[in-house]
Structure 1
Amino acid sequence: MTGASPIGLRWDAAACDGVGICLHLADRLLTVDAWGFPIVPRRPLTTRADQRAARAAARACPRRALFLVEDDPAPS
């Protein structure tokens, strides 16, 4: 389902401790690297389901290393 304004999910590598809560909440969006840190998609999230998952992951991050940016096209 589309119709939501695009948002982007971003990650602050310096703030992240690799706790992994985000991976459980947004398992369709995020993957994990060899050290247990999230790999964040560099594309706009346009479906409501993806946006809900991204918001939940960002809210649950104990270090606030994940955050949302409004209407942010993925840089090339």
Structure 2
Amino acid sequence: MAEQLARLAELNELDNVTIGALYLDKPHEIGRYDEAFTAIWGAALRQQDTQTLLHQGDGPAVGRTNGRCGAATGT
């Protein structure tokens, strides 16, 4: 985790990257982020599928396929 924090600190030095707190206090903001989170949650792999994918050494490429996150299907 220390390496991850160091990398975040390094990336934060870039002009096009901002790392900080996000406070949602307006109903339209909350709704927008709730919709985004719901979409991400729906596109995510199940925990077991994620573990399988992470343990594959020479398996299919990981990336966006058909607008969804997951293992490439070759189609």
Q: Aligning the two structures, in what range does the TM-score lie when normalised by the shorter sequence?
A: under 0.3
Of Structure 1 and Structure 2, which has the larger fraction of its residues in helix?
2
> TM-score, normalising length from structure 2?
0.25
Bigger share in strand: 1
Normalising by structure 1, report the TM-score: 0.24
